[in-house]
Structure 1
Amino acid sequence: MTDVVIIGAGFIGMSFALAAHKQGFGVAVYDKAAAPVLPKTVTSQVIAVNPVSAEFLSGIGVWNLIPDRFVTRYDQMSVFDGQGSGAISFTAEEGGLPCLGYIVDQVALRVAMSECALSQGLEVKWTETADIDELQRDLLVAADGAHSATREKLGLKKMGYSYDQSATVCVAQFGQEFTAERGQQAYQWFCDSGPLALLPLADQGKFAVVWSSSEDMASISESAFISALEESTEDKLGRIHGVSSRHSFPLMQQHAWRYVTEGAVLLGDAAHAIHPLAGQGANLGFADASCLVTELCAARLEGRGIGDLGVLKRYEKKRKTDNHLAALAMEGFHRLFTSDSSIVGLVRSRGLRLVNENKTLKRLAISVASGRV
């Protein structure tokens, strides 16, 4: 009998599968989608990976399998209050880190995970919808995303709400005046329309754009979008020479009331989904995966079953607090930077300047963002 059955072969489900397999657990993964295919070039489907998550991915044999053109290290993060005068800049050097993080193509990461699984003899059943009532296992892991059908079948309720916003994503090509140093920076503006992030890609002058807005930025003309993007970035990066096709997805925040039940557990977005403005969603999921494997190994040493509710509750206790705090922080940032109150705007601008000028506060912020705290 298989020890662990995982529903969902996204990057969180697969990271857990590879980590559990490495520790000697028998693992089977099911996903109704087809196996990922490596794109010719980096796409707008990227995630921010902090140094702690990168170490985890390296430890399970995945990190070095991702082609270099799909991974961009960034050493600096600049944040601007587009509605005021506040600004803050973080550097890896200020935090005593080799880098702040990496921008990684999601599809390339999933392809690397599939290759790693194949080389290690880990079974992944693509284009198969698993019947969880028929599968023999000690533990069922639901890693099938924010709209998890497995979570619903398990009867694990969630709370949440829509932001009435969509995130529009694309790749923007900036001018040739770009330098390699500027290309290792990530940028964020808090605009009237919503948070705008520009994440550096390996190709010189290219950035992944993630623009959260109540307006439909995906359906306006390309010229109108470029004009709006240049205006919102305040000409700090120069002229935009072109953008790729745009896609959008609705934004929401949700959290499962319980992560676990006897013999089953929620992982990643199936347990929690947050606003993408700080780019921490994937890192929270990788932390879930790492924590769950640690608890399963501890249970084995104790002679306890890996599906034992007491074992799974230890995972829930450790991860639920961190995930809930992250959700509260994202909600706080969202409210702070979308308020049109002049008083809130003044507090916001002064707060950014305060953190920017205080080395202790800045180092703490860098430690949190990098996953060290």
Structure 2
Amino acid sequence: METRADVLIVGAGMVGSALALALQGSGLDVLVVDGGALSVKPFDPQAAFEPRVSALSAASQRILERLGAWEGIAARRLSPYSQMQVWDGSGTGQIHFCASSVHAEVLGHIVENRVIQDALLERLHDSDIGLLGEARLEQLRHSGDDWLLTLADGRQLRAPLVIGADGAHSAIRRLSGTPTREWDYLHHAIVTSVRTAEPHGRTAWQRFTDDGPLAFLPLEREGEHWCSIVWSVTPAQADRLMSLDSGAFCQALERAFEGRLGKVLGCDPRLCVPLRQRHAKRYVARGLALIGDAAHTIHPLAGQGVNLGFLDAAVLAEVLLHAAARGENLADERVLARYERRRMPHNLSLMAAMEGFQRLFQADRLPIRWLRNTGLKVVNDLPEVKALFVREALGLSGDMPELAKVAN
């Protein structure tokens, strides 16, 4: 059996779902395909926090609001933060960012990925977008002017335009033969949620240790103090930390964090994720586009991965809608290249910056330690420079798609 669509989005994760919602009401026949089930789970506010979270920027919040998903996120669980404290564990350099420096209430929100996903799926189920779950892709080939996708159960899908939104290990990227530049960071990230003795003060904390950055991200729960942690360490250190029992792990974590939030009282089950940077050499080809982690993965140092993906989705939707209004062929590579030209430079510049930070703070030579500590102190004493960083993080500058712009 063959199913046809105008636009076929492979991957119903956060970024793919956002793109689909941005295209609803366009008159295009959009079909979203995913290998997993596309049901929305009932939310239990007393349930443990999901280990994987995202630090949503203000730009991402505006996108989700305009897609109608933010209300579902707020009804479940989110944790705003208005300050960020960063310091070098090997020196005295530190820097403090505050939303009030640009007259904003918050810098962003820490939200569990499952919460974002369910809020988006909820909107998709209420839309005119086609959904096909538990559909694993096995083959991808050209058929005339279309792409023909064959699923594991033998069904076939046909579309002139296919969007790969299927994550870091994208089948679309692999099956289409899209080349990438990639390298291993030689670090693993340990992620979990921990309960602390002291309140986090709606502050995102990050300490650069000798092994790698350690982030404590604020989580909201009445009567208790919780944070999501992302601890980047060498593989050998990761193996050692993962082998510890909960009590010993909490003690090691407390020491690494210099006890900034008092005693670490407990932790949820831990995940360990190898870190690898990956960037597709091209985001587009005839009838094909990659967005989100299918196009680029980045070090979790600044928590920008999903924010870049939401901007990809918003820009691609804008390009496609404008082209459709002009009667252009959406599968034309010249049309899709407009998306690539807007997103690739921004993504590459941020990836290069994160790579530079990561190398700078892992350098052990005394002159480099002195340089980075001095740099942190100098920037911390320059409010105008710090405000520029804050405005960039909030999405108040640069080439913003309409979905992400501040309303006039």
Quick one: which of 175, 180, 189 aligns to 2:207? Answer: 189
Look up the match of 2:8: 5
Query: Following the alignment from structure 1 to structure 2, what is the Cα–Cα distance between the partners of residues 91 and 317?
Result: 32
Look up the match of 2:117: 110
1:257 aligned onto 2:281? yes
TM normalised by structure 2 equals: 0.88
Quick one: which of 330, 337, 345 aligns to 2:369? Answer: 345
Query: Is 1:183–1:205's contact at 8 Å kept on the other side of the alignment?
Result: no
Aligned alpha-carbon RMSD (Å): 1.4
Look up the match of 2:263: 239
CA positional deviation for 1:24 = 3.6
Query: Is 1:22–1:60's contact at 8 Å kept on the other side of the alignment?
Result: no
Secondary structure in 1 matching 2:201: helix
1:294 aligned onto 2:318? yes
Query: Following the alignment from structure 1 to structure 2, what is the Cα–Cα distance between the partners of residues 223 and 5?
Result: 48
Look up the match of 2:153: none
CA positional deviation for 1:269 = 0.5
Query: Following the alignment from structure 2 to structure 1, what is the Cα–Cα distance between the partners of residues 75 and 325?
Result: 39
CA positional deviation for 1:187 = 0.5
Look up the match of 1:285: 309
Quick one: which of 223, 226, 232 aligns to 1:206? Answer: 226
Query: Is 1:7–1:143's contact at 8 Å kept on the other side of the alignment?
Result: yes
Structure-to-structure mapping, 1:1-373, within 5 angstroms: 1-35=4-38, 37-38=41-42, 40=44, 41=47, 42-130=49-137, 131-132=139-140, 133=148, 134-175=156-197, 177-178=198-199, 182-203=200-221, 204-214=224-234, 215-216=237-238, 217-373=241-397
Query: Is 1:339–1:345's contact at 8 Å kept on the other side of the alignment?
Result: yes
1:210-267, Cα deviation, whole Å (9 max, x unpaired): 1011021323232221112111111211111100110111101110001101001001
Query: Is 1:37–1:107's contact at 8 Å kept on the other side of the alignment?
Result: no
Query: Following the alignment from structure 1 to structure 2, what is the Cα–Cα distance between the partners of residues 286 and 2?
Result: 23
Amino acid corresponding to residue 21 of structure 1 in structure 2: Q
Amino acid corresponding to residue 230 of structure 2 in structure 1: V
Secondary structure in 2 matching 1:228: helix
- Identical positions, percent: 38
Query: Is 2:24–2:128's contact at 8 Å kept on the other side of the alignment?
Result: no
Residue segments in structure 1 that go unaligned for 5+ positions in a row: none
Matched residue count: 369
Query: Following the alignment from structure 1 to structure 2, what is the Cα–Cα distance between the partners of residues 347 and 138?
Result: 53
CA positional deviation for 1:317 = 0.7
Amino acid corresponding to residue 195 of structure 1 in structure 2: P
CA positional deviation for 1:310 = 0.4
CA positional deviation for 1:59 = 0.3
Secondary structure in 1 matching 2:253: helix
Return closer, same or farther for 1:350/1:69 CA change in 2, 3 Å cut-off: farther
Amino acid corresponding to residue 283 of structure 2 in structure 1: Y
CA positional deviation for 1:39 = 5.3
Amino acid corresponding to residue 114 of structure 1 in structure 2: L
Secondary structure in 1 matching 2:160: strand
Secondary structure in 2 matching 1:37: coil
CA positional deviation for 1:34 = 2.1
Return closer, same or farther for 1:218/1:94 CA change in 2, 3 Å cut-off: same
Amino acid corresponding to residue 10 of structure 1 in structure 2: G
CA positional deviation for 1:289 = 0.3
1:328-353, Cα deviation, whole Å (9 max, x unpaired): 01100100111111111111111111
Amino acid corresponding to residue 141 of structure 1 in structure 2: I
Residue segments in structure 2 that go unaligned for 5+ positions in a row: 141-147, 149-155, 398-408
1:19-62, Cα deviation, whole Å (9 max, x unpaired): 11143432111111123535533322110100011000110110
